[in-house]
């Protein structure tokens, strides 16, 4: 301590803060006490009858001496006892991490793993079932092999004419290796597959279901295709900007049946006020896009399927959010739109679509991460004559 530095000053401050928080607690560490940290934590779910906040409780001992304990209301309302338990485990883990560095600043190296005891049934269930862990690891390895295979295929096929996203990212690997390592490219592929496939597929199924229930709309979409694309060739990507009515059909589908009806759960990073509500930092935020899209106060006849509402340039700002909004909104919105519009255009151009019976297709929503139909669409189709000619 002859030449104190800022880290010594920090350590001294930490000791003072710690002692200040525990005056007269009789903290005593016998010389022969083992320097092993143990912690016990629990939570009391929805302990407060007014606010439904739960309580975190923990107790930490170093050897046989208690060194830290706390009972504190959780800042965020937990929706289940399991969630409240996870929050208390998280808070206790932070305390343990802090205590470890505190001991280090006193010159005590705590190299052994710290032991945390809790009775979170959800975590215990997962931990006690090695099958879960094994199958997750197996699945991860399978995905890694698949994604690495796709990257290697592109890497070894540099001459290939087709432009692909993996190819574009590999091209950047030379100039920005740290931002485009194979690992990061794999992560991007997996995000795109997870976020981009089901969302587009369910939207297409909802759109076709709406169309067979509204044959006049279907007829109008086909007339638009015949007018702008004709019957001598297949519709292609450059035709999309001309197909305004088809675009309105997809937009109206996303309004009535947004693939992510509650968007993606977010957590507020700061205290804020929304309308008359104070939203504390760390609150889980779910945006009910489904309800916003059917709000009578902002939409005319909101439950009807009327693609025409978007034809007059209906301004969807702030009330139409199937891709979210702001900085965290869907980065694949443009692609997602095209991925739905183009195949739908092809299906309408090439086939006649009708319901399997007089009865309307059931439009109830099922349960899933992306909102599926409760009953999968069943419809009949017949190839249009002129399209058979193109194929031949
Ligand atoms: C009809 C198709 C799609 C719909 C309805 C959709 C919807 C959404 C929504 C609602 C979010 C969350 C936004 C928020 O929290 O505010 C999201 C995020 C995301 N989407 Fe899409 N999406 C679609 C297609 C795609 C496609 C094709 C891709 C990429 C190939 C994609 C990639 C992503 C990614 C990576 C995120 C996460 C962004 C982040 O959290 O930073 N999506 N999408």
Q: Where are the domains of the chain?
A: 6-127, 134-180, 196-391
Q: Is 330 annotated as a binding residue?
A: yes
Atom of ligand 1 nearest to the CA of 325: 16
Pocket of ligand 1, candidates 323, 330, 339: which has the most ligand atoms within 8 Å of its Cβ, to mutate? 330
**Torsion from C-alpha of 320, 326, 330, 333, nearest 10 degrees:** 60
The answer to whether the beta carbons of residues 200 and 336 sit under 8 Å apart is yes
In this prediction, residue 89 carries a pLDDT of: 93
In this prediction, residue 12 carries a pLDDT of: 77
| pLDDT 10s digits, 170-197 | 999 989 988 999 999 999 999 999 899 9
In this prediction, residue 383 carries a pLDDT of: 92
In this prediction, residue 149 carries a pLDDT of: 94
In this prediction, residue 315 carries a pLDDT of: 63
In this prediction, residue 290 carries a pLDDT of: 95
| pLDDT 10s digits, 313-325 | 666 667 899 999 9
Pocket of ligand 1, candidates 188, 189, 194, 195: which has the most ligand atoms within 8 Å of its Cβ, to mutate? 195
In the reported structure, the alpha carbon of residue 302 is separated from the centroid of ligand 1 by a whole-number distance in angstroms of 24
Q: For ligand 1, is residue 377 a contact (CB within 6 Å)? A: no
Residue segments in the chain with a per-residue pLDDT below the cut of 50: none
| pLDDT 10s digits, 269-326 | 899 998 888 888 888 888 999 999 999 999 999 999 999 999 876 666 678 999 999 8
The answer to whether domain 6-127 and domain 196-391 are alike in fold is no
Options 1.10.630.10, 3.40.50.9100, 3.40.47.10, 1.10.10.10; CATH for 196-391 is 1.10.630.10
Predicted TM-score (pTM) of the model is: 0.71
Q: For ligand 1, is residue 336 a contact (CB within 6 Å)? A: yes
In the reported structure, the alpha carbon of residue 321 is separated from the centroid of ligand 1 by a whole-number distance in angstroms of 11
Q: Which residue's C-alpha comes closest to atom 40 of ligand 1?
A: 328
Q: For ligand 1, is residue 202 a contact (CB within 6 Å)? A: no
Among candidate residues 368, 227, 245, the one with its CA nearest the CA of residue 306: 245
| pLDDT 10s digits, 139-152 | 999 999 999 999 99
In the reported structure, the alpha carbon of residue 195 is separated from the centroid of ligand 1 by a whole-number distance in angstroms of 5
In the reported structure, the alpha carbon of residue 196 is separated from the centroid of ligand 1 by a whole-number distance in angstroms of 6
pLDDT more than 90, % of the chain: 55
- The CATH architecture that domain 6-127 belongs to is 2-Layer Sandwich (3.30)
In this prediction, residue 323 carries a pLDDT of: 95
């Amino acid at each position: 301590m002859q030449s104190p530095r800022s880290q010594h000053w920090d350590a001294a401050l930490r000791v003072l803060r710690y002692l200040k928080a525990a005056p007269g607690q009789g903290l005593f560490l016998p010389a022969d006490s083992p320097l092993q940290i143990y912690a016990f934590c629990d939570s009391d779910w929805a302990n407060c009858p007014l606010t439904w906040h739960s309580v975190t409780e923990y107790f930490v001992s170093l050897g046989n001496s208690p060194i830290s304990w706390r009972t504190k209301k959780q800042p965020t309302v937990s929706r289940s006892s399991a969630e409240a338990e996870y929050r208390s485990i998280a808070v206790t883990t932070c305390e343990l991490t802090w205590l470890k560095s505190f001991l280090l600043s006193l010159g005590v190296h705590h190299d052994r793993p710290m032991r945390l005891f809790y009775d979170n049934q959800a975590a215990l269930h997962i931990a006690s079932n090695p099958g879960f862990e094994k199958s997750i690891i197996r699945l991860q390895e399978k995905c890694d092999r698949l994604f690495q295979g796709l990257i290697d295929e592109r890497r070894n096929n540099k001459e290939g004419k087709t432009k692909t996203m993996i190819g574009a990212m590999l091209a950047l690997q030379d100039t920005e290796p740290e931002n485009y390592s194979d690992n990061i490219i794999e992560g991007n592929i997996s995000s795109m597959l997870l976020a981009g496939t089901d969302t587009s597929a369910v939207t297409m199924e909802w759109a076709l279901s709406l169309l067979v229930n509204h044959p006049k709309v279907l007829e109008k979409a086909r007339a638009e295709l015949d007018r702008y694309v004709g019957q001598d060739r297949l519709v292609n990507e450059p035709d999309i900007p001309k197909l305004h009515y088809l675009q309105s059909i997809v937009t109206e589908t996303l309004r009535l049946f947004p693939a992510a009806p509650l968007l993606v759960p977010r957590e507020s990073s700061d205290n804020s006020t929304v309308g008359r509500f104070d939203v504390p930092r760390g609150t889980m935020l779910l945006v009910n896009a489904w309800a916003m899209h059917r709000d009578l106060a902002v939409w005319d006849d909101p439950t009807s399927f009327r693609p025409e509402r978007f034809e007059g340039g209906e301004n969807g700002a702030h009330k139409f959010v199937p891709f979210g909004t702001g900085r965290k909104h869907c980065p694949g919105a443009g692609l997602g739109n095209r991925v739905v519009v183009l195949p739908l255009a092809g299906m309408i151009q090439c086939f006649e679509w009708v319901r399997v019976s007089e009865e309307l297709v059931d439009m109830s929503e099922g349960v899933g991460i992306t909102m599926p139909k409760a009953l999968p669409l069943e419809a009949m189709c017949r190839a249009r004559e002129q399209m058979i000619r193109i194929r031949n």
